[in-house]
Amino acid sequence: MLTSSLPSEIVGEIFALCLPERHSDRLSIQNAPMLVCQVSSGWRKAAIGEPRLWDTIIFPPSNFARNARFIHDGGIERWFDRTGRTWPLSFGDEPSQAPSGSNIIQYYARRFKHLSCTSKPLRRGFPQDVFDQLDMEMNSYTLQAFPRLVMPFKTAAKLERVSFILLQADMDKFVLPWSQLTSIEMASRRRQLNAGDWRNLFGLCRNLRRGTFVFPGWRKPSLKRALVHPTLESLTLIIAPPPQSGLEALYGSRAPGYDFAHLLSAVAFPNIQHLRFEFEADLTQRVHNIPSVCRTMRSSLKTVVFGWQGEADRDLEAPIEASEFLGSLIREPGAFDPLKHVVLPCKSNELDHIVTVLRSHPRLSLTVTAIPGRVKGWMQAMERHEDPKTIKDRIRIVSTGDYYLLDVGSY
């Protein structure tokens, strides 16, 4: 017999190779490990002694009743107990709305190397601190049990970069080492920050150097004195349509535009160097006062980026904010001396305006984003221009398909 003539290590390797590719198929009696247990008593004994066959339970979404019966009858305990007391475990379910056994999660928590499941609302005492990595989708009902959610990373001495996708909860629900963070991303389109969130964030993150946010959703300047945040160097603002209520969506009402000055009335950034605006397609909202606010940052501002994936030569589509900023550079040649680079979508007939800007700003260079079909036309227009000396090595044409390859280091 195979199990008696070979060393147990070899038998274990053979049985492990019999496991199905999909983890959720392990629970079927037609697959290993249960299939090999039916061959003979010797095979069953060898299989039960191999922990790799029993360290994973992933429930398929197709049969919730069977999964629930397996849990109720103690199947999880019998399965995992065959791995001994210390073997790392994996537990979860494929995407579904069916909740798994939260009691099991708590019982084996300190042995899980992987946990992915649709859980019942979490309660106090959930052992989140034992996980090296924990992804949780939470709503307002789930969070009711937590005045503040103590994260596994609250004492992480090396944690510097955090990314949030908040749908409803406030950021102060989360206990994190905020003061040591250097980079944060909060790019949820469904949960825009208000004025209080904005001030609170920068008040907590005193050492933040880079930030990416959906443009905060408030329409009036702050009545409080501006909080000064001296360490922020790079700010990216995503200009997205604000979330609409049911009535707004029903009647098609249009939200008012954004005002860049309102952000600076709440928090001032005296040492900002890199400013980036990402405009989403088919956007109807305007962003007001970009040139005037950038003028107040002129002593430190080095790059300004207007990101947009659309076609600049089509009327009424390219962000007019980019053209307004270009116009301010023409009208006020001495107002932006430290500025080194600007990225913006332009129409091809604006090349003369760009050359005018370059003449009055000898240290400035520009990147123009154009759809792939327009890049060749831009290159030809530059070759034919009457002032090639000013243009040479100072204008770069980039396809919109390659736009997201641009970073501060590529300017």
The tens digit of pLDDT for each residue in 292-327 reads 999 999 889 999 999 887 655 554 467 889 989 999
At 24 the three-state DSSP class reads helix
Tell me the pTM: 0.64
397 within a domain of the structure (yes/no)? yes
Instruction: Check residue 130 and give its pLDDT.
Output: 60
Distance CA 141, CA 150 (A): 17
The pLDDT of 22-38, averaged and rounded, is: 89
Using alpha carbons, list the distances in angstroms from residue 410 to 49, 150, 396.
57, 39, 11
Distance CA 299, CA 108 (A): 57
- Given a contact cutoff of 8 angstroms between Cβ atoms, the answer to whether 273 and 233 are in contact is yes
Q: Hunting for tokens 């697959």 — which residue is that?
A: 31
Instruction: Check residue 256 and give its pLDDT.
Output: 60
Distance CA 310, CA 324 (A): 18
Number of neighbouring beta carbons within 10 Å of residue 308: 25
Instruction: Check residue 33 and give its pLDDT.
Output: 93
At 368 the three-state DSSP class reads strand
313 within a domain of the structure (yes/no)? yes
403 within a domain of the structure (yes/no)? yes
Range of lowest pLDDT (32-36, 136-140, 221-225): 136-140
Distance CA 22, CA 58 (A): 9
Number of structural domains in the chain: 1
Amino acid symbol at 46: A
Q: Hunting for tokens 């950034």 — which residue is that?
A: 269
Q: Which helix (H) or strand (E) holds 63?
A: none
Distance CA 131, CA 116 (A): 12
The pLDDT of 329-349, averaged and rounded, is: 84
Strands 303-307 and 112-116: unpaired
Locate 349 and state its tokens.
């007939």
Q: How confident is the model at residue 59 (pLDDT cuts 50, 70, 90)?
A: confident
Instruction: Check residue 352 and give its pLDDT.
Output: 87
Instruction: Check residue 247 and give its pLDDT.
Output: 46
Locate 210 and state its tokens.
């880079």
Domain span at 378? 302-411
Instruction: Check residue 122 and give its pLDDT.
Output: 52
130 within a domain of the structure (yes/no)? no
Instruction: Check residue 407 and give its pLDDT.
Output: 61
Q: How far is CA 101 from the centre of its chain?
A: 29
* pLDDT (tens digit per residue) in 193-249: 888 889 999 999 999 999 999 988 777 777 788 999 999 999 999 988 776 554 444
Mean pLDDT of the chain: 80
Over 70: is that where the pLDDT of 381 sits? yes
Give every CB contact of residue 163 below 8 A, 6+ residues apart in sequence: 184, 185, 186, 187
Beta bridge partners of 395: 366
Number of neighbouring beta carbons within 10 Å of residue 389: 8
CATH code for the domain in which residue 336 is found: 3.40.50
186 within a domain of the structure (yes/no)? no
Q: How confident is the model at residue 15 (pLDDT cuts 50, 70, 90)?
A: very high
* pLDDT (tens digit per residue) in 239-290: 887 765 544 444 444 556 789 998 999 999 999 999 999 988 666 778 999 9
* pLDDT (tens digit per residue) in 343-380: 988 776 678 889 999 988 989 999 988 888 888 888 88
394 within a domain of the structure (yes/no)? yes
325 within a domain of the structure (yes/no)? yes
Instruction: Check residue 135 and give its pLDDT.
Output: 59
Distance CA 208, CA 160 (A): 9
* pLDDT (tens digit per residue) in 90-131: 887 755 544 455 567 777 777 877 766 655 555 555 565 565
Over 70: is that where the pLDDT of 328 sits? yes
- Given a contact cutoff of 8 angstroms between Cβ atoms, the answer to whether 357 and 329 are in contact is yes
Locate 41 and state its tokens.
């008593």
Number of neighbouring beta carbons within 10 Å of residue 115: 19
- Given a contact cutoff of 8 angstroms between Cβ atoms, the answer to whether 331 and 300 are in contact is no
Range list of H helices, 83-123: 102-107
Instruction: Check residue 47 and give its pLDDT.
Output: 92
270 within a domain of the structure (yes/no)? no
Over 60: is that where the pLDDT of 408 sits? no
- Given a contact cutoff of 8 angstroms between Cβ atoms, the answer to whether 399 and 370 are in contact is yes
